[in-house]
A and B are shown apart, each in its own frame.
Chain A
Amino acid sequence: MDFGKAIRKDFPIYGRYAGTGLFCYLDSAATSLKPRVVIDAVKEYYEAYSTNVHRAAYSLAERATEEYEGVRAMVAQLIHAPRADEIIFTRNTTESFNMLARTYAEHFIKTGEGILLTEMEHHGNLIPWQELARRKGITLHFIPIDSATGALVWDAATFGTFLKERNIKLISLTHVSNVLGTINPIAKIAAIAHEAGVIVAVDGAQSAPHLPINVQDLGADFFAFSSHKMLGPTGIGILWGRYELLEKMPVFMVGGHMIDDVMSTRATYRAPPLKFEAGTPNIAGTIGFGAAVKYLMDLGMDNVRDHEKMLLTAARHRLADIPGISFLGPMDAEDRSGVLAFTLAGVHPHDIGSLCNEAGVMIRVGDHCARPLHKKLGIPASCRASFSVYNDMDDIELFADVLKTVQKKLSAIPVSLSHDAVSAGNN
Chain B
Amino acid sequence: MTLYRQEIIERYRFPRYKGVIKNPHAQAEKINSFCGDEIALFLRLNDEKSQVAEARFDGQGCALMTASADILCEAVQGKTSDDLRKFSAEDLLQIYGEAPSPGRLKCLLLPYEALKSATTLL
Most chain A beta-carbon neighbours within 10 Å: one of B17, B23, B24, B58: B58
- Check B20–A410 contact: CB distance below 8 A: no
- Check B58–A351 contact: CB distance below 8 A: no
Given A348-B63, A354-B3, A412-B13, A422 contacting B19 (CB threshold 8 A): yes
- Check A417–B104 contact: CB distance below 8 A: no
A423 interface hit (Cβ, 8 Å): yes
A349: B residues at CB distance < 8 A: 35, 62
Compute how far the CA of A380 lies from the CA of B22 in the bound complex, rounded to whole angstroms: 28
A57 interface hit (Cβ, 8 Å): no
Closest to A357 in B: B101
B44: A residues at CB distance < 8 A: 425, 427
A293 interface hit (Cβ, 8 Å): no
B78 interface hit (Cβ, 8 Å): no
B36 interface hit (Cβ, 8 Å): yes
A419 interface hit (Cβ, 8 Å): yes
Most chain A beta-carbon neighbours within 10 Å: one of B9, B22, B63, B101: B63
- Check B64–A351 contact: CB distance below 8 A: yes
What distance in Å separates the Cβ of B56 from its nearest Cβ neighbour in chain A? 5
Secondary structure of the A side of the interface?
loop
Compute how far the CA of A358 lies from the CA of B58 in the bound complex, rounded to whole angstroms: 28
Partner of B62, one of A351, A358, A367, A419: A351
Question: Chain A interface: which size bin?
Answer: 20 to 34
Compute how far the CA of A367 lies from the CA of B36 in the bound complex, rounded to whole angstroms: 10
B34: A residues at CB distance < 8 A: 366-367, 381
Compute how far the CA of A419 lies from the CA of B101 in the bound complex, rounded to whole angstroms: 30
B4: A residues at CB distance < 8 A: 351, 354-355, 358, 409
A1: B residues at CB distance < 8 A: none
A427: B residues at CB distance < 8 A: 21-23, 44
B61-100 contact mask (Cβ, 8 Å, vs A): 1 or 0:
1111010000000000000000000000000000000000
- Check B35–A423 contact: CB distance below 8 A: no
Given A409-B9, A423-B19, A425-B24, A417 contacting B3 (CB threshold 8 A): no
Q: List the count of A-B residue pairs having beta carbons below 8 Å apart.
A: 88
Closest to A412 in B: B13
Residue total for B at the interface (Cβ-Cβ under 8 A) = 34
Partner of A413, one of B13, B23, B56, B64: B13
- Check A425–B56 contact: CB distance below 8 A: yes
B66: A residues at CB distance < 8 A: 417
Compute how far the CA of A339 lies from the CA of B36 in the bound complex, rounded to whole angstroms: 23
Compute how far the CA of A385 lies from the CA of B73 in the bound complex, rounded to whole angstroms: 36
- Check A425–B23 contact: CB distance below 8 A: yes
A342-371 contact mask (Cβ, 8 Å, vs B): 1 or 0:
000000111100110010000000110000
- Check A413–B12 contact: CB distance below 8 A: yes
- Check A417–B54 contact: CB distance below 8 A: no
- Check B22–A417 contact: CB distance below 8 A: no
B1: A residues at CB distance < 8 A: 358
What distance in Å separates the Cβ of A341 from its nearest Cβ neighbour in chain B? 15
B2: A residues at CB distance < 8 A: 358
A418 interface hit (Cβ, 8 Å): yes
Closest to B43 in A: A425
Most chain B beta-carbon neighbours within 10 Å: one of A350, A355, A367, A418: A350
14 contacts between A and B (CB under 8 A): A348-B37, A348-B63, A354-B101, A367-B34, A380-B35, A380-B37, A381-B35, A410-B63, A412-B13, A419-B20, A421-B19, A421-B20, A424-B21, A425-B44
5 closest residue pairs by CB, A with B: A380-B36, A425-B21, A424-B19, A348-B62, A351-B63
